Amino acid sequence: MLTNYIDDKLKIVEAESKVYRPRVFRLNNSEDKIAFESLLERVPGLRVYDTMEAQMKELVKAFHPSVTLSKEEIKLKTLEHLGGIEMRAYGVWVYYPWNDNVVHLLDEEEFVFLRTNRNNYKITDEEEKVLSTKRVGVIGLSVGQSVSLTMAMERTFGELRIADFDDLEITNLNRLRSGVHNMGLLKTVLVAREIAEIDPFLKVTLFNDGITDDNLDSFLLDNGKLDVLIDECDGVDVKIKCRIAAKKYNIPVLMEASDRATIDIERFDLEPERPILHGLVEHLDISNVKNLKTNEEKLPYILPIVGIDTMSPRLKASAVEVGQSISTWPQLASAVTMGGGITADVCRKVLLGQLHVSGRFFIDLDELITDARPEHAQVVYDAQPLQLEEMAEMAAQLKSKDDSNIVKDEELLAKLIEVAIQAPSAGNNQPWKWYNKEGRLLLFDDPIRSAAFANFNGMVTMMSMGTVLENMSLKASELKLELEIELFPLANLRENRLVASVIVRSAPDVQKDSLVAYINSRHTNRKPGDGSKIAAEVIDDIRKSIELSGVASIKILEDSESINAVADIAGKSEKLRMFIPDGHSDLFDREIRWDAESAEQTRDGLDIRTLDLKPKDIVGFQVIKDPRAIALVSDWGKGAALENMTRDLVATSSAVCLISGHSFDKDNFISVGRAAERAWLTATKHGLSMQPFLASVFHFARIKHGNAVGMPENVTAEFEILREKFINLFALTSSSEEPLFLFRLFRAEEPAVKSIRLNVEDVYYSKQ
């Protein structure tokens, strides 16, 4: 029997589960005595540790806590306690076959009494007895190792079931306490050995295959139902399945996330109808979890479980790098150790009936112990909504116009406005307001809508004003009307908000512009293109729609090498935009509408559904909206993943096009906006999709004309490099060529959701 035991000392029985304990010899048992003596003789290199005399001394002192015993008194009481038994034969000898150590210990009752003596009265004797009857299961042995060892040290269970299928690897050693000699060892065996070396009398049951559909019930129920389940596994499917089963069997579940010391408590024993994971995954198809393979597929499940809004900034920033510069989620030994201690503490209280709450709790050291630092504040622009009184006041300053032939029909004018405001605008901000003064339509810039970091010198807003004026002109041609447009009619107040005066006159002989038919079907498409070539005559038609204006020109790139080069610039520009605090705030705090309800309510901004994001990208947006996280990514010089979405889309284009103006001023911005709208409508006529991507040109303009004011130095430096590449790529040789509007042309299926516009009554005011 001993020979077999020794021969198999490093083997783990390949069974579903195994109680893992070292061999214990009691020399007052004749069989044990013979086996022990044989062990000493036949196993070479045994290391024998015998500190029984010291243990007896501590035991005697512990029996008399109120008395200070002399050395002689300790010796006397030791002899009395031995009762004539030879010191060598007292207690037990424990053989650890994995390291060939033999240790002489007090027997179980006295060992437990002495080992837990310093627990009193954090844990009372009565509580210790209760805990010794409890069964705890731990799935996953990263944080799970720390939890298991802490509970073993406190001796807060009677049986511990541990499940993991992984071996110890070198990458585990940043957070698992072990030596390099244990690499390749099953984590279950590693933990069981460590516990046995702390306390050879504790019962540890191993599930070396991890948790499977076949053994989950056994893990939870065999030899008595678990009193607490602790989930520290990485597998999303196991996290969900074990909770479904725990809920079925009324077993409470604990989980620690190693980030902000997040501790989850789900009291299915007290709340049998409680939704798993606090309802955070109810919107997901949990029946599909077993089919998830890649990180991309798992991410929409993982992040709700972790808690996107409650993740630490560093973990959010790290999430951006998963699959880029790191292969998986980071963990630190300090967090794992602290998490193990917290979980063990909570587990003990649950087992003793001292804690009944469910929920998610945080002990964030970065918040509790930190240098004082300013809190992030959302960027607030010094702008107020344009008021009706202001519009009326500016309207009153205008000189009178020839009143003959002016159309004042309110219904007709409102129809013009209704079509005009279907125009595109950056971030769908719709910066316009219209005021009707006795048939004279006045177009105003609403500062609360146009304020944005990208809107340098008003370039963004004025191009939008050009698109709305072009739409109105096209609709007027259909209604046999013509427009008398005067830009910035209050010349003495050049910087005021009055952009244009539009007088509508009857024009029976005006020719209808065919592009009017495509105003309502024009939209932004953010789907991938098929890369198919566009017919030369279509390209010529789009080119003519721009160049006939005489104030704008277009350059079109159709070869794949050039398209890929532009795609790289576009992707990097979108990333860099997020590294600018004001630009980041514009996108995430002001532009994006995170659900259909808010999009419908505001009727502006970017409905996130129109971005046509994959589930992982939606999650990614939710992660990087935290300015602290994006600041870390910028500081690290990382964030390649932030380039991917735009770069990949642009790379699927059939062509990329750049509209340039001849000067950098508001009149020219409006002209380029009108030309861009005509190009867009022409593309729509030919069944092509179009998507502007403007982060590059907007920031290039700030560098060239504004000395990069407001841009961090590292961002400016990277934009400077991109700008040089951009100039060469589009052969911008003339100083008068101002790149203002960049877009891609492609063929793709229609988007399921399109941006909506403000109602006419929200932007049109009439004083007849």
Mean pLDDT over each residue of the chain, to the nearest integer: 92
pLDDT of amino acid 377: 55
SS3 state of residue 532: coil
Structural domain of 707: 522-746
Structural domain ending residue among the three candidates 95, 115, 135: 115
The answer to the question of residue 752 being in a domain is no
Report how far residue 585's alpha carbon sits from residue 578's, in angstroms, rounded to the nearest whole number.
Answer: 8
The answer to the question of residue 303 being in a domain is yes
Q: What is the pTM of this model?
A: 0.86
Q: Which residues contact residue 561 at a Cβ distance below 8 angstroms, ignoring those fewer than 6 apart?
A: none
Q: Do 505 and 530 belong to one domain?
A: no
The answer to the question of residue 383 being in a domain is no
Q: Do 244 and 351 belong to one domain?
A: yes
Q: Residue 293 sits in a domain of what CATH number?
A: 3.40.50.720
CB-neighbour burial class of residue 87 (10 A; exposed 0-12, middle 13-18, buried 19+): middle
Q: Do 348 and 235 belong to one domain?
A: yes
Q: Which residues contact residue 470 at a Cβ distance below 8 angstroms, ignoring those fewer than 6 apart?
A: 423, 673, 674, 677, 678
Low-confidence ranges of the chain (pLDDT < 50): 1-17
Q: Do 5 and 83 belong to one domain?
A: yes
Q: Do 350 and 297 belong to one domain?
A: yes
Q: Do 465 and 535 belong to one domain?
A: no
Report how far residue 637's alpha carbon sits from residue 640's, in angstroms, rounded to the nearest whole number.
Answer: 9
The answer to the question of residue 347 being in a domain is yes
CB-neighbour burial class of residue 537 (10 A; exposed 0-12, middle 13-18, buried 19+): exposed
Q: Do 131 and 40 belong to one domain?
A: no
The answer to whether the beta carbons of residues 59 and 81 sit under 8 Å apart is yes
pLDDT of amino acid 373: 63
Question: By C-alpha distance, which of 678, 412, 638 is closest to 541?
Answer: 678
Q: Domain total for the chain?
A: 4
The answer to the question of residue 380 being in a domain is no
pLDDT digits (tens, 9 = 90+) for 485-535: 999 998 765 557 999 999 999 999 999 999 999 999 999 999 999 999 999
The answer to the question of residue 377 being in a domain is no
The answer to the question of residue 509 being in a domain is yes
Q: Do 480 and 535 belong to one domain?
A: no
Report how far residue 737's alpha carbon sits from residue 748's, in angstroms, rounded to the nearest whole number.
Answer: 31
pLDDT of amino acid 392: 92
pLDDT of amino acid 3: 44
The answer to the question of residue 375 being in a domain is no
Token pair for 599? 């999009």
pLDDT digits (tens, 9 = 90+) for 367-396: 899 887 656 555 667 788 999 999 999 999
pLDDT of amino acid 378: 57
Q: Which residues contact residue 731 at a Cβ distance below 8 angstroms, ignoring those fewer than 6 apart?
A: 555
Q: Do 107 and 151 belong to one domain?
A: no
Chain position carrying tokens 């390949």 = 14
Structural domain ending residue among the three candidates 54, 89, 115: 115
